[in-house]
Amino acid sequence: MEEIYTRRSIRKYKQEPVSVDILEQILDAGRVAPSGKNKQPWRFLVYGGEGKEQLLAVMQKGLEREQKKEAMLPASGYGLPDAFHTLKIMKKAPVVIMVVNPYGKNPFSNITADERFTEIIDSLSVGASIQNMLLKAQALGLGTLWVGNTCFAYAELIEYMEIEGQLMGAVALGYADEKPGARPRKELAELVAYYL
């Protein structure tokens, strides 16, 4: 698949709207991803327009709280400048898809080893679903940014979205207004050990 090699993380978007038909093709690609025990541990909340503005205002409050008041991720504070930059990108993207695992636990709660392994399998499954969406968007001529910086505003976002389960992250989506080059990748020989 050419899209595997040509997909890039897009941080500049045209203000051209994305049709519901295009969105549904992208979301459907996420729907058919493989998952452990066919659990399909994903739900997609799609925000655009005023709904997206309200959502991202909540995210901004969470980032500001993390920065100035009570940090829920104190050892990760070095990532806050990047999170604020990501928020600006999300504000300019026409669409933001929030990805939720309805079976997941709050990451700030204690879980058993069994629950941890279930969480790992669900996370792998959700990653496959998101990757399917990124590749489908690329095939349809759209750009995407896979966002993990929602973690800094986790409490605010799950309360605002009124979700049960675990917020896994987001995908910013729209027509790209940039053509970034490929980022460096390690050579295959550095990553693979054969035991054939």
CB 69 within 8 A of CB 162: no
| Among candidate residues 162, 156, 135, 157, the one with its CA nearest the CA of residue 146 | 135
Decide if pLDDT at 1 tops 90. no
**How far does CA 100 lie from the centroid of its chain?**
9
Tokens 């279930």: give the residue. Answer: 118
pLDDT digits (tens, 9 = 90+) for 119-146: 999 999 999 999 999 999 999 999 999 9
Q: What is the pLDDT of residue 63?
A: 98
What percent of the chain is predicted at pLDDT more than 70?
100
In the predicted model, is pLDDT for residue 64 greater than 90? yes
**pTM of the full predicted structure?**
0.96
pLDDT in tens, 71-80: 999 999 999 9
3-class DSSP assignment, residue 196: coil
Average pLDDT score over the chain: 97
The predicted pLDDT at position 92 comes to 98
Q: How far apart are CA 85 and CA 193, in angstroms?
A: 37
As separate numbers, helices (DSSP H) first and strands (DSSP E) second, the chain gives 7, 4
Q: Which two tokens stand for residue 153?
A: 């505003």
Strand 95-101 and strand 166-174: the pairing is: antiparallel
Q: What does the pLDDT read at residue 69?
A: 82
Q: Which two tokens stand for residue 55?
A: 């959502």
**What are 144-196's pLDDT values in tens digits?**
999 999 999 999 999 999 999 999 999 999 999 999 999 999 999 999 999 99
Q: What is the 3-state secondary structure (H, E, C) of 101-160?
A: ECCCCCCCCCCCHHHHHHHHHHHHHHHHHHHHHHHHHHHCCCEEEEECHHHHHHHHHHHH
Q: What value does the mean pLDDT take over residues 17-33?
A: 98
